[in-house]
Amino acid sequence: MALLYCHDTAIYIQTTIVFEVRERNKRDYFLSQGLKNKNLDCILLEQLVPKATLPVSVHPEVAGSVDMSQPLYWDRLDTPLPDRAYKEVLTAADKSLKQKEKGPWSQLSKEEKIALYRVTFRQTYAEMKQPSAEWKTVMGGVFFFLGFTGLVVWWQAAYVYPERPRTFTDEWKAKQLKRMLDMRINPIEGFSSKWDYEKGQWK
């Protein structure tokens, strides 16, 4: 059931009627069927609903509202025959070609065959498989942000980190090592076992 808003009055109309009159040129039919009172200032449901399939001239990349309840067209290598033809609105030339298509195809010239192909499909397989330069953008972006991170890390080291503890100096570390050997840390298999106490050197 579709809801039609008219001032304060809501008129409920069967959904099937709404779908039949989706196209703008059937607006009069809709009005005559649904609304007898011409004083009602109504917002037609079709205006509340996103636009139907985009017209032929609009590229699919354009961010318009696409009616997802209608069959869509797309170029995909793994879907050779999409749900609908690319061009739905045919010029007179296209229409006559379509008529000619009903006869023997050997009578069509190469250009006509290509034209028929382009009516039904947007890109050929070769065009679909065209390599793009996107990878350069991606890699450029990756390296840029890695570089930026490097700068951030350097700045941190220079300006954020506190002083190094004194335990990191060579002098302290030598004394620490001597203390560990004197304490016989891990004398069996570990640290002190590697030290030759008679000769005073590492084994």
Partner 1 sequence: MNPRLSPTHCGTMFRAVFRLSATGARSLARSRPCYSAPSATRCYSHGKVETDEEFDARWVTYFSKPDIDGWELRKGMNTLIGYDLVPEAKILDSALRACRRLNDLASAIRILEAVKDKAGPHKDIYPYLIQELKPTLSELGISTPEELGIDKL
Using CB under 8 A, list all residues that contact partner 1: 77-83, 85, 98, 101-102, 104-108, 110, 113-114, 116-117, 119-121, 124-127, 129-130
- Smaller CB separation from partner 1, 127 or 196: 127
Strand partners for 197: none
Contact 176, 184 (CB under 8 A): no
**Least Cβ distance, residue 67 to partner 1 (angstroms):** 19
Neighbour count for residue 93 (Cβ, 10 Å)? 11
Minimum CB separation of residue 128 from partner 1 in Å reads: 9
Instruction: Give the phi and the psi of residue 131 in degrees, each rounded to 5.
Output: -75, 145
Cβ of residue 102: shortest distance to partner 1, in angstroms?
5
Q: How far is the CB of 80 from partner 1 (least distance, A)?
A: 4
What radius of gyration do the chain's Cα atoms show? 38
**Number of C-alpha atoms within 13 angstroms, CB side, residue 69?**
6
Q: Alpha helices of the chain — where are they, by DSSP H?
A: 15-20, 27-34, 45-48, 92-101, 110-120, 125-128, 134-159, 170-182
Closer residue to partner 1 (CB): 114 or 142: 114
**What is the b/e burial string over 51-71, where b = at least 16 CB atoms within 10 angstroms of the residue's CB?**
ebbbeeeeeeeeeeebeeeee
CB of 111 to partner 1, least distance (A): 9
In the chain, DSSP finds a helix count (H) and a strand count (E) of 8, 5
**Closer residue to partner 1 (CB): 86 or 191:** 86
Closer to partner 1 at the Cβ: 39 or 107? 107
Beta carbon nearer to partner 1, 42 or 97:
97
Nearest approach, Cβ of 119 to partner 1 (angstroms)? 7
Of 23, 94, 90, whose CA–CA distance to 57 is shortest? 90
Smaller CB separation from partner 1, 107 or 201: 107
